[in-house]
Amino acid sequence: MKVLRPADFGRGVRVRGMGVALPERRVTNADLIAMGCPLSEEEIVKLTGVHERRWVGPGEATSDLASRAARAAVADAKAELGEVERLILATVSPDYSSPSAACVAHARLGLGETPAHDVTASCSGFVYALEIATRCVLTGEAPVLAVAADVRSRFVDVTDRSTAALFGDGAAAALVDEGPVGEGLLAIALLADGSGAHSVYVPAGGSREPASESTVAEGKHTIRMDAGPKVYLKAVEGMLGTAEALLEREGLSWDDVAMLVPHQPNRRILDRLARLAKIDPAKVVIDLEDKGNMSAASVGVALDRALRERARPGDLVLVVAGGAGYTAGAALLRIGE
């Protein structure tokens, strides 16, 4: 695990603005069942907590959502796109295998020669992007757009009981900039454990098994989650482990946390997280019922909502994410006065 603390460099880093983008199309549980999902509406709600999710329409892709979220974040910060010094896009569902989705979004945003690149860290992607953006700001490159966007609906097998009902599409963006020391992003922790590389994955379409008629016939272009229970436990352990490392490093406890903003994989994981952290469930931000699991974007979308609707000056906000890879991350933020 790696922990980054801007204060160790005598600097402050803050989230100057945030924005989100969701597709227009709403897919209810009844819609999924009509498409062939072998679960009842009652089972879907009981197993996942998801009532509906947003899916992109024909021709729409990850960079479209990422661009919209990025523009919203820049507008929220009352900044200009011309100020942006780097675009980081966390995704596991880029528009193309090559080039990066960040480059497609870059063209749409008109970012000139500003560097742009993707980051692949599955459900922890937003926290990974925040961490890299923070490193950029600490070395004088600011502001930086940290975006997380995923369109998992293109990779869902609606007949698979384990994954059919989980995923939605969406994007979140944060404009990360210099700030006062002791406010904003206090610390970020990241970890990876490659033993889970095949825990949730899309088997074909990469360099190991390129797409072919047989891979498509076998559905290998869709998400597989054969080790679901292990991923579930690992995600919670990763989120708890990184969160507790940050709290300990800062001399804080769960009681000091005003809001816990987790990745939103499914309701059961969130309940388990709250139970094991022994945190008041009212402090846990749940933003899942009408969006589903948007992979990298989920925690960013939940953070955007939490900051707008619930955050008060001085609040300590703990952002945690974990999932496939395995990967996990946590970010500790102090809301400015």
Partner 1 sequence: MDTRDTVRAIVAELATVPDDDESPIDVESLVRIQIIEAVEDAFDLIVSADDLTPERFASVASIAAFVEEKNDA
Residues near partner 1, by CB under 8 A: 47-48, 161-162, 225-230, 232-234, 237, 266, 268, 272, 276
Distance in angstroms (rounded) separating the CA atoms of residues 37 and 66: 28
- Supply the minimum distance, in Å, between the C-beta of residue 122 and partner 1: 16
| Cβ atoms < 10 Å from Cβ of 313 | 9
Least separation in angstroms between residue 55's CB and partner 1 is 20
In the complex with partner 1, the residue whose CB is nearer, 26 or 267, is 267
| Minimum CB–partner distance for residue 151 and partner 1 (Å) | 23
**Cα–Cα distance measured from residue 30 to residue 207, given in angstroms and rounded to the nearest whole number:** 37
Strand partners, 14: 177
Question: Is 37 marked active-site?
Answer: no
Kindly name the residue from 37, 103, 106, 263 that is annotated as catalytic. 263
The one catalytic residue among 123, 136, 198, 266: 123
Measured from the CB atom, the residue of 198 and 308 that comes closer to partner 1 is 198
Residue 75 backbone dihedrals phi, psi, to 5 degrees: -65, -40
Which CB atom, from 55 or from 232, has the smaller least distance to partner 1? Answer: 232
Q: Tell me how far, at minimum, the Cβ of 323 lies from partner 1, in Å.
A: 13
Q: Which residues on adjacent β-strands are paired with residue 118?
A: 89
Query: Is residue 101 a contact partner of residue 118, using CB atoms and an 8 Å limit?
Result: yes
- Cα distances (Å, whole numbers) of residue 24 to 54, 74, 167, 237: 7, 22, 15, 34
- Residue 21: phi and psi, rounded to 5, are -145, 130
**Which of residues 7 and 227 has its CB atom nearest to partner 1 in the complex?**
227
Which residues have a catalytic role annotated?
123, 263, 293
